[in-house]
Amino acid sequence: MGDMAELLASALRMSMPVLITALGAIYSERSGVTNIGLEGMMLTGAFWAAYGSLHYGPMGGVFMAILMAVLMALLHGVVTITYRVDQIVSGMAINILAYGLTRFFSIELFGMATTSPHVDGLSKISIPLLKDVEWLQPLTKDISPIIIVGILLVFFTYWVLERTTFGLRLKAVGENPLAADTLGIKVLHYRYYGVLISGAFAGLAGAYLALEHTGMYVEGMTQGKGYIALAAMIFGNWNPFGALGAACLFGFAESLSLRVMQNKFIPYQFIKMLPYLLTIFVLAGVVRKAHPPASVGIPYAREEH
| Contact status: 227 vs another protein (CB under 8 A) | yes
| Contact status: 261 vs another protein (CB under 8 A) | no
What's the rounded Cα separation, in Å, for the pair 247 and 224?
Answer: 14
Least gap, CB of 75 to another protein (angstroms): 7
Q: Which of 108, 111, 128, 264 binds another protein (CB under 8 A)?
A: 108
What's the rounded Cα separation, in Å, for the pair 270 and 256?
Answer: 13
Q: Which of 7, 59, 71, 175 binds another protein (CB under 8 A)?
A: 175
Three-class DSSP category at 6: helix
| Contact status: 113 vs another protein (CB under 8 A) | yes
| Contact status: 42 vs another protein (CB under 8 A) | no
Cα dihedral angle (150, 156, 161, 164), rounded to 10 degrees?
-160
- # binding residues, another protein (CB under 8 A): 67
What's the rounded Cα separation, in Å, for the pair 44 and 39?
Answer: 9
| Contact status: 253 vs another protein (CB under 8 A) | no
Question: Which residues contact residue 94 at a Cβ distance below 8 angstroms, ignoring those fewer than 6 apart?
Answer: 36, 37, 40, 41, 72, 75, 76
Show contacts with another protein in window 131-170 (CB under 8 A). 163-166, 168-169
- Which listed range, 62-70, 114-122, 133-141, 230-238, lies at the site for another protein (CB under 8 A)? 230-238
DSSP string, 203-255: HHHHHIIIIIIISS-BTTTTTTHHHHHHHHHHHTTT-HHHHHHHHHHHHHHHH
Least gap, CB of 147 to another protein (angstroms): 26
| Contact status: 117 vs another protein (CB under 8 A) | no
What's the rounded Cα separation, in Å, for the pair 51 and 107?
Answer: 12
Phi, psi torsion values for 168, nearest 5 degrees? -60, -45
| Contact status: 224 vs another protein (CB under 8 A) | yes
Q: Which of 43, 143, 171, 203 binds another protein (CB under 8 A)?
A: 171
CB environment 227-264: b (16+ within 10 A), e (fewer): bbbbbbbbbbbbbbebbbbbbbbbbbbbbbbeeeeeee
- Which listed range, 47-55, 81-89, 130-138, 207-215, lies at the site for another protein (CB under 8 A)? 81-89
| Contact status: 100 vs another protein (CB under 8 A) | yes
| Contact status: 258 vs another protein (CB under 8 A) | no
Least gap, CB of 85 to another protein (angstroms): 5
Burial class (CB in 10 A: 0-12, 13-18, 19+), 111: exposed
Q: Which of 64, 70, 79, 196 binds another protein (CB under 8 A)?
A: 79
Residues that bind another protein (CB under 8 A): 36, 75, 79, 83-86, 88-90, 92-94, 96-101, 103-104, 107-108, 113, 163-166, 168-169, 171-172, 175-176, 178-186, 223-224, 227, 230-231, 234, 267, 269-270, 272-273, 276-277, 279-280, 283-285, 287, 290-291, 294, 302-303
